[in-house]
Every structure is written in C-alpha cells, then in structure tokens.
C-alpha cells in the first residue's frame, strides 16, 4: 500500500514537501536494515538510484554518514546530490540532510503495527538544480509527479528486496530506470 501526498510549502517557487506512506508485512528492523544499507540502493531500487557512494562512514550507528547519489525519476533528467545522516533511532527511523541538486531534510519513521511495518517519509526540499529552479514555477506539478513515480517504484522495489532477503525463489528483478538510462545496460555516463 502506498499513499503519497504533496503539501504546500512556504516558498511556492522552488520548495517541495512530500509525505510518503508505505506498509509492509515486515518488522521495522527489516525495513530499517534495508534502507540503512545505502550502498545496496542501486541494486534493489535501480529505477531511481543510478549510483551511490558512501564518502564517510560516520559514527557507529550511522550518524555523520555522508552519501553521494546520482538519481533520476521517469523524466529524462538526473540529479546529483548528497546526504548526511543527522539522527538515527534504530529501529524506528533516521533523519538526513540533503545538499546538491536538492537541499533540505528527509525523515524516515517506522512503526510496528502487528505484523506490518508502517513507513512514513517526510521529504522537505528546495530545488537547487538550475533546470528545476528555473522551471519550477511552470512545471512544479510535473516535477512532483516525478517524485511520486519514484516513491511508487521504491514501494515495489522494497517489497521485492524483502522477498529476496527472506530467501524466496523466483523473485523478479526490480524495475529499472527509464529513458535514456534504460538503454545503457546499467552503464553510468
């Protein structure tokens, strides 16, 4: 199940605020462990994460970890950005600060509800990529739709990652990136 809502922001030109809700038949610890393993993002969520590199490991538990990302959605542009883990609350979530083509904060929260893990992602960002900054006034709904698409792919990809992690047989590959990266046989230019 996925529910994604856009919230209005104080800066209507280049500010974005998204809240995503996911629900998995899993423990919070399982979801936390998959999401904290940032180096595996490009393997299980390749429709969005084209390349991921940990630049600094941070403290035990992850605070201070610095990660460099190369990402995209279904629109034919890419984003280069980094995040630093600012807070961890194992197994109930963690927070990050984004810089680069995005600047802002992300807060992952996990809550156990019986056999389900309820996931909430609160993403408050400012568009810094020149294309996004320049065109947000006109194309903000399209850029928001791009984010919603990415999070829907994340839901599907994380469900598949859970199955693989649990040893299920015949689990299909996660959805791959869209044009033009789908034509590159996973090579990053």
Domain-embedded: residue 65: yes
In a domain, 136, yes or no: yes
Q: Is residue 13 part of a domain?
A: yes
CA distances 60 to 75, 83, 94, 172, Å, are 37, 17, 14, 34
Residue 106 maps to which CATH number?
3.30.530.20
Contact between 85 and 94 under an 8 Å Cβ cutoff? The reply is yes
- For 61, counting Cβ atoms within 10 Å of its Cβ (0-12 exposed, 13-18 middle, 19+ buried), the class is middle
Q: How many CB atoms lie within 10 A of CB 180?
A: 11
For residue 188, is it within any domain? no
pLDDT in tens, 127-151: 999 999 999 999 999 999 999 999 9
Is 170 inside any structural domain? yes
In a domain, 122, yes or no: yes
The whole domain housing 36 covers 2-183
Specify if 105 maps to a domain. yes
Per-residue pLDDT, averaged over 49-56, amounts to 98
Distance CA 113, CA 23 (A): 9
First to last CA, the chain: 34
Report the C-alpha dihedral over residues 56, 127, 150, 18, rounded to 10 degrees: 100
Q: Provide the pLDDT for residue 181.
A: 79
pLDDT digits (tens, 9 = 90+) for 153-167: 999 999 999 999 999
For the chain, how many structural domains are there in total? 1
How many whole angstroms separate alpha carbon 20 and alpha carbon 108? 9
Q: Is 189 inside a domain boundary?
A: no
pTM over 0.95, yes/no: no
Assess whether the previous peptide bond of 22 is cis (omega < 30° from 0): no
**Centroid of chain to Cα 121:** 9
Contact between 87 and 108 under an 8 Å Cβ cutoff? The reply is no
DSSP codes, 106-123: EEEEEEEETTEEEEEEEE
Higher-confidence position of 188 and 129: 129
Residue 119, number of CB atoms within 10 A of its CB: 24
């Amino acid at each position: 199940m996925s529910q994604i809502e856009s919230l209005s922001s104080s800066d209507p030109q280049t500010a974005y605020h998204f809240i995503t809700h996911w629900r998995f038949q899993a423990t919070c610890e399982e979801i936390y462990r998959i999401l904290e393993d940032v180096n595996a993002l490009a393997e299980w969520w390749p429709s969005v994460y084209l390349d991921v590199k940990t630049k600094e490991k941070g403290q035990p538990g992850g605070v201070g970890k610095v990660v460099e990302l190369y990402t995209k959605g279904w629109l034919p542009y890419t984003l280069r950005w980094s995040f630093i883990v600012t807070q961890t609350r194992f197994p109930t979530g963690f927070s990050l600060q984004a810089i680069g083509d995005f600047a802002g904060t992300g807060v992952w929260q996990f809550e156990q509800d019986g056999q389900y893990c309820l996931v909430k992602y609160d993403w408050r960002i400012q568009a810094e990529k020149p294309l996004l900054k320049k065109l947000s006034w006109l194309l903000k709904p399209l850029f928001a739709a791009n984010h919603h698409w990415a999070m829907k792919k994340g839901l599907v990809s994380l469900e598949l990652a859970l199955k693989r992690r649990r040893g299920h047989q015949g689990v299909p590959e996660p959805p791959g990136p869209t044009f033009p990266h789908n034509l590159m046989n996973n090579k990053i230019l």
